[in-house]
Structure 1
Amino acid sequence: MFTTAWTASPQSPSIGFTPNWSQEGFWRQSLRQVVRLSAGGDRVRIRLSNAYGTSPLRIAGATLARPAAGVGAAGAALRSEPVRLAFGGAASVEIPARGEIVGDAAELAVAAGESVTVTLHLDAVTGPATFHAQAFTTSYRGAGDLLAETGGAGFDEATESWYFLSGVDVSAGRTDGVALFGDSITDGFGSTPGANRRWSDALAARTGRPVLNAGIGGNLLLNDSAWYGEKGVHRLERDVLGMAGVDTLVVLLGLNDIGFSEGAAEPTYRPAPLVEVRELIAGHRELIRQARGRGLRVVGATLLPFGGSDHWGERAAKVSHEFNEWVRRSGEYDVVVDLHGALGGAGEVDALCPAYDFGDHLHPNDLGYEVMADVVGSVL
């Protein structure tokens, strides 16, 4: 019996927040990606997504290994011999446009908190690539077939995004997984890159449970976006409910729906409708309905303070206050966690405590993410 131990929610190819390879795609190259698992087991299998591909995606080969510590090209080095992966017994596979596959299980004993490296050989033109924009972890590519490359020297390019890889499952047989569903705060913006200091990482360490990060930077509950993924009410099925071993959903979503209309006229924010609190509540009720339909316990979180940020304004303040009061008092969530109260500054209820502020008055820093994990972990 398998348990999902890591996820990254797929996004359509875009310029994104930092330079990436999603729009150009890959051809006659190998792609090496490092992910940290929140559960262990004796066997491992991977999930690959071509959700936004308009043509079939050919995977010429894939391997799994343990990464060696290092930076730059050395970060692509391995400390174990790569294990060849198979798909329906074959070394290669073609994933249909808009499709997803789960590979065969490979023998590799891994522990919770351990990282693994997945290498894909992409010998045919992929076209624009389904990816996850903000990994806060380095991925590598190089020319040719580098599946067996252990030293990492052939991987001469790097980026901070994940491509095609949407999940890793382990033979843990656990059914107590926790999925975090949200935007850039859940995705880990403001945490130290390469250090695994997102609040999902902290929650996994605190609870010892599998924790899946289903955050997308900039994501909206009610509207699709070119950069920021499909709206939350549509993507929950794919990004959470389809994963193995999840029994709890934590929802922290809606701040961008409120705040994008307050910001500067960035093209990625437009159109940015003026969202009413009743619309946010309806969206959250839809998430609750979907999750409970699969038997999940649903935890609702109040929106963090964001006073002084580019999302803040008189209207945003009003709607966020009304929404947070609904979360606290309505009784519609199975459990409520008041992250707004936990991360607020003393005497300034609408602003992040300076000790927890990454610097933009919107996202927590490493310490702030640890506080979030403590608060949520106490009710799980």
Structure 2
Amino acid sequence: MTSQASRPSLSNDPASRGRRRIFAGLPALAAALALPAPPALAQTARGLWYATWGCAPSGPPPLSTALTLSGQTLRLVVRTSIGAGRLRVRLSNEMGSAPLRIGAASIGLRSSAATVYAGTSRALSFGGRSTITIPAGTPALSDPVDLSVGPFADLAVSLYLPGPVTVNTIHANAYQANYLSTGGNHTAATSLPIQRTIGSWPFLAEVDSDRVAPVIVAAGDSLTDGIGTTTNTNRRWPDWLARRFQAELSGRGPFAVVNRGLSGNRLLLDDASMPLAGRDLLERFDRDVLATAGVRALALLIGINDILFSPAFSPVPREDMAGGYLQLIERAHARGIAVMGATLPPFGGNVYFNPRREAARQDINAWLRSAGAFDLLADFDLVLRDPQAPERLRSSYDYGDHLHPNDAGYQAMAASVPLAQLAALAAY
């Protein structure tokens, strides 16, 4: 925990908060006004990109559970949130300890299971080459390919790994069936010869579109990652939010939603025994939020694991959590990114529940509601809690562990987001 002396000032005086935010914004505004507009020709030549899908990589997993491949092809299924005329992918070896060789790669429009529509598969290249070796600890962007797709299209990204590979960089909880082939390079195959199905996204971090759209990144823990949702249905709360944008605000143009939730993740601390929970959000913020192509707004739901995994009789204090939230807000605002916060839903009846942890949740939620630190706030606690027992989820929204919502609960969360205000904050 941070010491009292190292914590940021948490003055709740509205005038003081307003002055801090105005003064903090003036240097950035002055600098922006002083900069010349970038030449249109340079923009056209380089191209501008907007993430249509993403996940948060983590790892490495324990060796006893790590996926090992040898001369096989992965086919990974992802769903767009906006359409595209051109696409590129971001691969990740950021948790790897050795170079990762990709022998071939492709992207196509998925029809069903591990099959792509005939004629839609496009070979991916990297700096003009069909193969790439990604150094340990780094990502890699593909060259763009022409492929016209609409919003909510299923894409299949295929990666041929020619040598023995231990998967060190992975998003463990995809809630989407993905596929591992029998031996060989099957990246160009319409139908993949399947050896087995996997429930994770190895080595894939982002798919980008050339379609101009504000990108909203949803960052958080398992409540954003989607534990409790039905596999292969795309019913995490950010998925429902993307559908709301399309259904309710299509006249204002497309809005992309990228899910950077990570089960087990925390705001403030890591746990070496939980490598798949990733680095705390303060650490992974630059990679998973700021590096997302086209990001304009952040939807932040994080903190429940900080409470659950803190000592039972001395839970994390709200001052420490508030300090972490303020750091993320300032770092986002410094890059022109608006931030929507969210209250922490109830977990009464869960194995980690006790009165002191519940008091900590209530205290943190009180700060979230009253501090005025966020540009916008979604009150997920209010939406999900049982009116007769507010420390518990509504039974109709409870996945069964008294912590994670089910499909209906995630839909209710997305439905409660002040959509017009979020769109206004994210709009160009």
Q: What is the TM-score of this pair, normalised by structure 1?
A: 0.92
Q: CA deviation at 1:279?
A: 1.0
Which letter does structure 1 place at the counterpart of 2:396? A
17, 22, 29: which one aligns with 2:72: 29
303, 327, 343: which one aligns with 2:344: 303
CA 1:56 to 1:345, structure 2 compared with 1: closer, same or farther past 3 Å? same
CA distance in 2, matches of 1:151, 1:115: 15
Which letter does structure 2 place at the counterpart of 1:108? L
Q: Is the 8 A contact 2:167 2:202 kept in 1?
A: no
Higher helix share: 2
Q: The residue matched to 2:189 in structure 1 has which SS? A: coil
Which letter does structure 2 place at the counterpart of 1:11? S
CA 1:162 to 1:370, structure 2 compared with 1: closer, same or farther past 3 Å? same
Q: Is the 8 A contact 1:2 1:169 kept in 2?
A: yes
Structure 1, unmatched stretches of 5+, are 70-74, 264-271
Q: CA deviation at 1:351?
A: 0.9
Q: How does 1:249-268 map to 2 (within 5 A)?
A: 249-261=298-310
Task: Provide Cα deviations, 1:199-245, integer angstroms capped at 9, x if missing partner.
Answer: 11100000132001010001011111323110010111100110111
Structure 2 residue aligned with 1:167: 206
CA distance in 2, matches of 1:34, 1:128: 17
Q: The residue matched to 2:69 in structure 1 has which SS? A: coil
CA distance in 2, matches of 1:128, 1:211: 27
101, 124, 132: which one aligns with 1:58: 101
Structure 2 residue aligned with 1:349: 390
181, 188, 205: which one aligns with 1:148: 188
Q: Is the 8 A contact 1:262 1:312 kept in 2?
A: no
Structure 2 residue aligned with 1:219: 265
Q: CA deviation at 1:273?
A: 8.3
Q: The residue matched to 2:409 in structure 1 has which SS? A: helix
CA 1:15 to 1:77, structure 2 compared with 1: closer, same or farther past 3 Å? farther
Q: Is the 8 A contact 1:262 1:311 kept in 2?
A: no
Structure 1 residue aligned with 2:377: 336
2:153 is the counterpart of 1:114: yes
Q: Is the 8 A contact 2:111 2:154 kept in 1?
A: no
Q: CA deviation at 1:79?
A: 1.7
2:55 is the counterpart of 1:14: no
Bigger Rg over Cα:
2
Task: Provide Cα deviations, 1:149-176, integer angstroms capped at 9, x if missing partner.
Answer: 2122x122111000000000011122x1
Structure 1 residue aligned with 2:49: 2
CA distance in 1, matches of 2:373, 2:410: 25
Q: Is the 8 A contact 2:318 2:367 kept in 1?
A: no
CA distance in 1, matches of 2:330, 2:310: 28
CA distance in 2, matches of 1:227, 1:43: 32
CA distance in 2, matches of 1:39, 1:240: 18
CA distance in 2, matches of 1:262, 1:346: 28
CA distance in 2, matches of 1:27, 1:293: 44
CA 1:193 to 1:124, structure 2 compared with 1: closer, same or farther past 3 Å? same
Which letter does structure 1 place at the counterpart of 2:256? P
Q: The residue matched to 1:358 in structure 2 has which SS? A: coil
Q: Give aligned-pair identity as a percent.
A: 37
Which letter does structure 2 place at the counterpart of 1:10? P
CA 1:15 to 1:376, structure 2 compared with 1: closer, same or farther past 3 Å? farther
Q: Is the 8 A contact 1:206 1:377 kept in 2?
A: no
Structure 2 residue aligned with 1:267: none
Q: Is the 8 A contact 1:203 1:377 kept in 2?
A: no
Structure 1 residue aligned with 2:281: 232
Q: Is the 8 A contact 1:252 1:300 kept in 2?
A: yes
281, 286, 292: which one aligns with 2:322: 281
Number of residue equivalences: 361
CA distance in 1, matches of 2:384, 2:70: 46
Structure 2, unmatched stretches of 5+, are 1-47, 247-254, 423-428
Q: CA deviation at 1:277?
A: 1.6
Structure 2 residue aligned with 1:136: 175
Which letter does structure 1 place at the counterpart of 2:231? P
2:117 is the counterpart of 1:79: yes
Q: What is the TM-score of this pair, normalised by structure 2?
A: 0.82
Q: CA deviation at 1:14?
A: 1.7
Structure 2 residue aligned with 1:181: 219
Q: Is the 8 A contact 1:10 1:131 kept in 2?
A: yes
Structure 1 residue aligned with 2:39: none
Q: CA deviation at 1:261?
A: 3.8
CA distance in 2, matches of 1:117, 1:78: 7
Structure 1 residue aligned with 2:296: 247
Task: Provide Cα deviations, 1:31-64, integer angstroms capped at 9, x if missing partner.
Answer: 0000001011100100000011111111111011
Q: CA deviation at 1:125?
A: 2.6
